[in-house]
A and B are shown apart, each in its own frame.
Chain A
Amino acid sequence: MKSVFKIVVVLMVFASVVSCQKNSRPNYQFMPNMYEPVSYEAYQESDAFPGGVEAQLPAEGSIPRGGHMPFEIANTNDGYQLAKSSLMSPLDSTQIDRLRAGQLYDIYCGICHGKKGDGKGTLVKREKILGVPSYDDAGRAITQGSIYHTIYYGKNAMGSYANQLNEEERWQVVNYVLELKADLEK
């Protein structure tokens, strides 16, 4: 009987050691000063900023390197109409990269608008998001300017994609959407 008791004790100790391995906390580090950066890392917490968030928006009016100029048209109905009638794509035919635009479209737009732009993306088919219009919708009659305005600010239930696509990528997508629209109208 004594040996049984011993075996049980050993098994229990083993089980408790094994169960102590927790995946909810990170492992030990050897010499962490080689691991932790001295400078700020992305998303680091810091007392220097309000809310303790190190990731901050750039100051208003700052222009990123690479020459993306600020978008001047306002996020209003008038701004939308202005963009619809007057805003033109800065890309000429040599700068249009259909392959890349298609990839970007499939990632960011196709999930709702559908790969063909008919408003039947995966999320619409699964009835998660409803009311996505087809690009050839007569009442909307989208133009390149209105598409850009919508990508930049969002419209109705659609959010802004200004932080996921940069200016050049947005115009590439606009061009791709116009192509899809033309295909749908055929």
Chain B
Amino acid sequence: MKKSYQSLEDNPTNNMIQVIYRHLASKIPYLGLVILLTFSTSLSAQEGDPVKGKTIFNTNCASCHNLDRKMTGPALRNVESRLEDEQGLGRDWLDKWIRNSAGLIKSGDAYANQVYNEYNGTAMTAFPQLEDQDISDILAYTAEPAKEKVVVDEVTSGGGGSSEGGISSKLILGALAILFALLAIALILVRKTLNRFAEEKGIEAAQKDKSLPIWKAFVQNQFLVLVTVIFFLLASAYFVYGYLSQIGVDQGYEPVQPIHYSHRIHAGDNGIDCKYCHSSARVSKHSGIPSLNICMNCHKSIYQVADETQQEGMDEYGVDYNAEIQKLYKAVGWDEAEQTYTGVTEPVKWIRIHNLPDFAYFNHSQHVEVAGVQCQTCHGPVEEMEVMYQHAPLTMGWCINCHRETNVNVEGNAYYTKIHDELSKKYGVDKLTAAQMGGLECGKCHY
């Protein structure tokens, strides 16, 4: 007995030790590489600091260069050693290129012209302000080995931990359910045994009276019947009225969109203004669904979400955000490898959520620009919505309520000063509501 138990316990520890060794073993060559590379750069130029280099790289280079991906410009991992090996070009060439690439191209340098043409004649911004030390730092950063493996390990371990949490809460719930079931069974059993005892001892359980059953007594009492009937009629009228009045009201409508777009991440976490994407809300009747080129303003460079975000999406919402970005690329016809548009596009069939009936007129620009109403007033806490839904009922009563309660900002509006003054006098108030300015007239919305 003890033996098998021990061997069971031994096995996992053995495995653990192996895992640790494997990580160490895989890290040793990396460490060696880091040391080697830092020494090699220090031989050719001043010693570069990869940490500082990362900061400089992120502020100056990252808009066009990624370490491992082609963007506007080429991938820059190990650029110095690659140039040395493949083109025989040294640090002085890189210095010239970074400080003034246009000058180098004009001077007729063969490789400079080759790169320039390869990237469709995109001119690299000149960085004359970068010191030798800065460039060394950047090159040290680009010479760092890729960290992909470590990242993957972190993701899987993180996933294990959180899914364990899910399992444990389910376990607790299951245990509780079983406990309650057991209690119920116990109660039934106790009752049964008690009954049996009673029978054996010849005690009769409390006998029921042989008087009128309650329903017969009820039927005989006509007043009670009348009251009940009236009650039921009123109650059913209430429910029928409630059912009829919600016909055509789509409050809570939450369709599944063709591309899962999280307002929570974009407007909430990243704080992007609503009007960044829905720019036509400022100037037109409609608050437009943004065209895909607006997505590409950012997603040209954001090709995948952060690992934590991805994990959160998988765990909490069951959504693979990176796959959704790929859907966007497919729809807009973006070739990730070549960083160009292929021209093959397919329109995304977004499902419209907020839709007023055709007999009611509503204008976004009037509310957003003129009145300065926040989008959330009608659309609810969009910045917290993972899936967009209709927050407000969009009924006429709801419109009118707001028009009655909302004060109009009349200050600094020279154009309407006179009419504002007269209306204030007429109603005897300082602040006018939208209703007092005619916001309840039928023809304002129905024509």
Contacts and interface: CB of A to CB of B under 8 A. Distances in A.
A15 interface: no
A123 B272 CA distance: 9
Interface residues of B, number: 59
Nearest to B283: A166
B105 to A, nearest CB: 11
Given A128-B298, A157-B300, A157-B301, A133 B63 contact: yes
A158 B62 CA distance: 12
A30 B60 CA distance: 59
Contact of A51 (B60, B62, B273, B347): B347
B129 A132 contact: no
Contacts of A161: 297
A164 B296 CA distance: 13
Interface string A28-63: 111000111110001101000001110000000000
B252 interface: yes
Nearest to A109: B276
A132 to B, nearest CB: 6
B296 A159 contact: yes
Interface stretch (A6-14, A18-26, A90-98, A178-186): A18-26
Contacts of B72: 156-157
B125 interface: yes
B71 interface: yes
A86 interface: no
A106 interface: yes
A82 interface: no
Contacts of A160: 293
B347 A156 contact: no
B224 interface: no
A69 interface: no
A131 B289 contact: no
Interface in B344-359: 346-347, 349-350, 352, 355, 357-359
B281 to A, nearest CB: 11
Interface in B90-131: 121-123, 125-129
Given A28-B247, A163-B293, A164-B279, A129 B252 contact: no
Contacts of B255: 24-26
Contact of A24 (B58, B254, B283, B347): B254
A64 to B, nearest CB: 12
Interface in A55-112: 76-77, 106-108, 111
Given A25-B255, A111-B276, A159-B296, A130 B58 contact: yes
B297 A156 contact: no
B62 A130 contact: yes
B254 A23 contact: yes
B14 to A, nearest CB: 40
Nearest to A44: B352
Contacts of B253: 23, 25-27
B141 interface: no
B265 to A, nearest CB: 10
B298 A131 contact: no
B273 A27 contact: no
Contact of B250 (A27, A30, A52, A128): A27
A31 to B, nearest CB: 9
A27 B249 contact: yes
A51 B253 CA distance: 27
Contacts of A43: 288-289, 350, 352
B438 interface: no
Given A30-B247, A30-B248, A37-B358, A156 B64 contact: yes
Contacts of A2: none
Given A77-B123, A163-B293, A27 B248 contact: yes
B400 to A, nearest CB: 19
B275 interface: yes
B128 A27 contact: no
Interface string B125-148: 111110000000000000000000
A160 B341 CA distance: 14
A138 B62 contact: no
Given A27-B250, A35-B358, A128 B347 contact: no
With most chain B CB atoms within 10 A of its CB, the pick from A26, A37, A77, A131 is: A131
B285 to A, nearest CB: 8
User: Which 7 pairs, one residue from A and one from B, show the smallest C-beta to C-beta distance?
Assistant: A131-B63, A130-B62, A131-B62, A159-B297, A35-B357, A164-B279, A37-B358
28 contacts: A23-B252, A23-B253, A24-B254, A24-B255, A26-B250, A26-B253, A26-B255, A27-B246, A30-B248, A34-B359, A35-B358, A45-B349, A77-B121, A106-B273, A108-B279, A119-B59, A127-B58, A130-B301, A131-B65, A132-B59, A133-B59, A133-B60, A139-B127, A139-B128, A156-B63, A159-B300, A164-B276, A164-B294
